[in-house]
């Protein structure tokens, strides 16, 4: 029960996102923006971990899908597919993710998430599809 209460009290990034330092800047069904530090989210070779990019992408896409789901009375978004292409490594600084909708229906939503480094260079492109469910 303690874990459930902790999850409920977590911010929009959830417990994992909070641990990874994800900070939301903007959130609407049309566009979700968040940042995440590279430090603390690296693999053994000192580069941003690909899984960390996927956590950021899923956090962004899930928030967008949930906000869209609220407009069609299906406020629960469940990620059912994610894919990511890692274009460039990052060793320091902060990355920024921007999620925009590719498709928004009554029972499903798909978002493209573009993650860039502080220079504006693309680090990762991801796509997340969520199933939208009613309570």
Catalytic residues: 58
Question: What order do you get walking across the sheet with 23-28 strand by strand?
Answer: 23-28, 31-37, 94-104, 108-116, 122-133, 76-86
Identify any residues that bridge with 99 across adjacent strands, giving them in sequence order: 32, 113
Tokens of residue 43, six digits: 């693999």
DSSP letter (8 states) at residue 88:
S
Cα distances (angstroms) measured from residue 6 to each of 9, 28, 34, 80, 102? 5, 25, 21, 24, 32
- Distance from C-alpha of 111 to C-alpha of 57, rounded to nearest angstrom: 9
């Amino acid at each position: 029960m303690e874990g459930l209460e902790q999850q409920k009290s977590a911010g929009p990034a959830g417990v994992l996102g909070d641990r990874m330092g994800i900070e939301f800047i903007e959130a609407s069904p049309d566009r979700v923006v968040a940042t995440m530090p590279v430090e603390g989210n690296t693999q053994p070779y000192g580069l941003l971990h690909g899984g960390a990019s996927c956590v950021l992408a899923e956090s962004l896409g899930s928030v967008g899908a949930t906000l869209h789901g609220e407009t069609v009375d299906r406020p629960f978004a469940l990620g059912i597919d994610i894919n990511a292409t890692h274009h460039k490594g990052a060793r320091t600084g902060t990355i920024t993710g921007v999620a925009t909708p590719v498709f928004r229906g009554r029972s499903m939503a798909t978002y493209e998430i573009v993650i860039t480094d502080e220079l504006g260079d693309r680090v990762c492109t991801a796509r997340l599809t969520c199933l939208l469910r009613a309570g």
